[in-house]
Amino acid sequence: MPPPKRPPSGLLGEPRYPRRRKAAADASASAPSPGGGAGGGGAGRCCDLSRAFGRCRALLDSLLRHDDGWVFEAPVDARALGLRDYYTVVAHPMDLGTVLRRLELRRYPDPTAFAADVRLTFRNAMSYNNLGDPVYESAAELSGIFEAGWASIQAELPPPPITDAERKVRFSDELPRLPVATQRTAAAVLKERDVCLLEEGGKVMVDLAKADAATLDELDRLVAHHGATRAYVDAPKQGHASMNVHCMKFEHPPEGCEK
């Protein structure tokens, strides 16, 4: 790709991406708060994400203020540049101006999605251009600046909320280690939510794959209440359930689950 021409600077010679004032920085830091619902970690997680998004904005501003940042501030105009094979090589175009707009409009669910788009911008430039080309070298330099700044942001990110699939796998290990009475309570909860199945011999089979988020929340509370003070680390004893990732069999079915 030929080196693009530098666009004119801002009005009256002002830089195109001036350093933000503190008030503006604080405003952008307070906005994005996706994932703050059930299982999202509550207000503390939202607060941590807000600070992280504020730092993402500051890092993006530093990239755009860089001497070569203007090269990546707008989508590549492949037609104007005569790059007929651009969209053959670059399947998913991205640029820092688009990243900025998405950040301002709170389109990113978390900072890692922001980082993915920034990386995509530089990866596209380095994929289409050859080592030694001006655009390649600019992309490599800004990519290094980004990764150096992103490392400290990533280190302070709150852990992602556990997914329902992960909770199901965890329950497949935890529920069989609970006392029989608690297992029967769990089976009763699952029966109310149509997750309690029957098996030959009067044993109850519970298909955790059918459990929805509300059911998993109820199991979370049950396990926390009955298992917080004990560590069930031994192999299941007589009278306990046998379980795998997909189902749970109870030797003593709860009332209403018998044949």
Considering the chain, what is the average pLDDT of its residues?
A: 76
196 with 121, same domain: the answer is no
Let me know whether 52 and 180 are in one domain: no
Task: Measure CA 231 to chain center.
Answer: 30
Q: Which residue is listed with tokens 């978390």?
A: 110
5 domain residue, yes or no: no
Residues 37-50 as b or e (16 or more Cβ within 10 Å = b): eebbbeeebbebbb
Whether residue 200 sits in one domain with residue 145: no
Which pLDDT does position 3 carry in this prediction?
60
146 shares its domain with 174:
no
Is residue 151 domain-shared with residue 172, that is, in the same domain? no
Given this model, what pLDDT does residue 49 score? 87
Residues 212, 89 share a domain = no
Q: How many domains does the chain have?
A: 2
Tell whether 29 and 141 lie within a shared domain.
yes
Same domain, yes or no: 48 and 148: yes
Residues 22 and 142 in one domain: yes
Residue-wise pLDDT for 212-228, tens only, equals: 899 899 888 888 877 54
Co-location of 129 and 240 in the same domain: no
**Confidence band of 238 (pLDDT split at 50, 70, 90):** very low
Tell whether 54 is covered by a domain. Answer: yes
* pLDDT tens string 68-116: 999 999 999 999 999 999 999 999 999 999 999 999 999 999 999 999 9
Considering the domain architecture, whether residues 116 and 38 belong to the same structural domain is answered as yes
Burial class (CB in 10 A: 0-12, 13-18, 19+), 200: exposed
Residue 181, domain extent: 164-250
Q: Which of 135, 155, 175 is the last residue of a domain?
A: 155
Measured distance CA(98)–CA(108) in Å, rounded: 12
- Most confident of the following: 12-26, 144-158, 206-220, 239-253: 144-158
> Domain of 115: which CATH number?
1.20.920.10
Domain boundary among 155, 183, 209: 155
Model confidence at 235, in pLDDT bands (50, 70, 90)? Answer: very low
- In the block, residue with structure tokens 């820092």: 96
Least confident of 65-69, 134-138, 145-149, 217-221: 217-221
pLDDT in tens, 6-52: 555 543 234 444 444 443 444 444 444 444 444 445 555 677 889 99
Q: Position of tokens 């046998």?
A: 242
How far apart are alpha carbons 32 and 54 in whole angstroms? 9
122 shares a domain with 57:
yes
End of a domain among 99, 130, 155? Answer: 155
